[in-house]
């Protein structure tokens, strides 16, 4: 099934609306074109909606986008006040290799299945972007705590901050684990192996696997260091030399995370 009549290029717009979307309820409300992932008719365009919170819109006019997002609002769990967004141009290029050329996504035809594949890649990218931003904030907070740790050595305020930080890190890890699609082969490709090359090229373009692995490493470093600091803070037996040593360790870990950040997925 080909879409968009005589269009040669359409805009793809990905939004991470919240932690999850009730797609089962949504299937009963809209004009469904396909499932797994769910594809809905949206005026002259289509929307691909994922249970883990992302919606990718293709050729959807602004007024129709507003209507669609309003319709989705009650079905979004733990909605984000400022959704992450990402856009791309998708161009019809039947005589060219499918993939990305000069930042433009090329497809052989505007079929539902190809748009699902494109949506999988962009949707995962926008989900990773939110996790990357949260980890970046955690690293910034850690820098100030490391300085306070060396200066004071202990204190109830620092202990509370560390506990809060550990909890926040666990929440990020839980959210990433819930989005199993980020690190796994899309279900669609089991039925359409002919589209695997297109997805592989998009996955490579958006550095999905690399960013996911780097995020896991960053989170492991941050949570492990926070746990170590919390253990020393609560032990009531640390001395000034021990805190200087811990401070050096924390500095080294922050430097490692910074090195990761300046590479892929920063």
In angstroms, the CA 137 to CA 148 distance is 17
Q: How many domains does the chain have?
A: 2
Residues 130 and 199 in one domain: yes
> Among 66-80, 164-178, 187-201, whose mean pLDDT is lowest?
164-178
Residues 61 and 141 in one domain: no
Contact of 2 with 49, CB cutoff 8 Å: no
Residues 54 and 163 in one domain: no
For residues 236-262, one letter each, b for 16 or more C-beta atoms within 10 angstroms of the residue's C-beta and e for the rest, the string is eebeeeebeebbeebeebbeebeebbe
In angstroms, the CA 180 to CA 188 distance is 15
In angstroms, the CA 17 to CA 73 distance is 9
179: in domain: yes
In angstroms, the CA 262 to CA 192 distance is 36
Listed in sequence order, the DSSP H helices in 153-187 are 156-178
54: in domain: yes
> Considering only CA atoms, which of 41, 37, 35, 34 is closest in space to residue 71?
41
Residues 176 and 211 in one domain: yes
Higher pLDDT, 178 or 85: 85
3: in domain: no
Share of residues in the chain with pLDDT > 70 (%): 71
Q: What number of residues does the chain have?
A: 266
43-79: per-residue pLDDT in tens?
999 999 999 999 999 999 999 999 999 999 999 999 9
Instruction: Calculate the CA 210 to chain-centre distance.
Output: 12
pTM score = 0.82
3-state helix, strand and coil shares in percent for the chain, rounded to the nearest 5? 60, 20, 20
119: in domain: no
Range with top average pLDDT, 39-48, 150-159, 239-248: 39-48
What are 24's two structure tokens?
Answer: 């089962």
Domain span at residue 34 reads: 9-110
Which helix or strand (DSSP H or E) is residue 38 part of?
strand 38-42
120: in domain: no
Neighbours of 130 (CB within 10 A): 20
């Amino acid at each position: 099934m080909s879409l968009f009549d005589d269009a040669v290029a359409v805009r793809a717009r990905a939004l991470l609306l919240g932690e999850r979307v009730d797609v089962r309820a949504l299937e009963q409300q809209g004009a469904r074109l396909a499932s797994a992932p769910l594809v809905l008719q949206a005026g002259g365009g289509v929307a691909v909606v994922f249970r883990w919170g992302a919606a990718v819109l293709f050729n959807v006019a602004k007024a129709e986008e507003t209507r669609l997002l309003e319709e989705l609002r009650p079905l979004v769990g733990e909605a984000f006040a400022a959704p992450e967004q990402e856009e791309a141009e998708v161009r019809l290029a039947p005589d060219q290799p499918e993939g990305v050329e000069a930042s433009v996504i090329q497809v052989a035809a505007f079929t539902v299945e190809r748009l699902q594949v494109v949506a999988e890649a962009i949707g995962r990218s926008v989900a990773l972007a939110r996790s990357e931003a949260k980890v970046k904030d955690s690293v910034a907070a850690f820098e100030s705590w490391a300085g306070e740790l060396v200066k004071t050595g202990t204190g109830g305020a620092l202990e509370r901050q560390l506990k809060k930080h550990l909890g926040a890190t666990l929440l990020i890890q839980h959210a990433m684990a819930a989005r199993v699609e980020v690190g796994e082969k899309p279900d669609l490709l089991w039925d359409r192996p002919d589209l695997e090359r297109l997805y592989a090229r998009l996955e490579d373009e958006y550095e999905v696997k690399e960013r996911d692995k780097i995020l896991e490493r960053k989170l492991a470093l941050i949570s492990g260091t926070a746990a170590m600091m919390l253990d020393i803070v609560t032990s009531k037996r640390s001395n000034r030399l021990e805190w200087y040593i811990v401070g050096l360790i924390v500095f080294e870990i922050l430097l490692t995370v910074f090195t990761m950040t300046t590479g892929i997925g920063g």
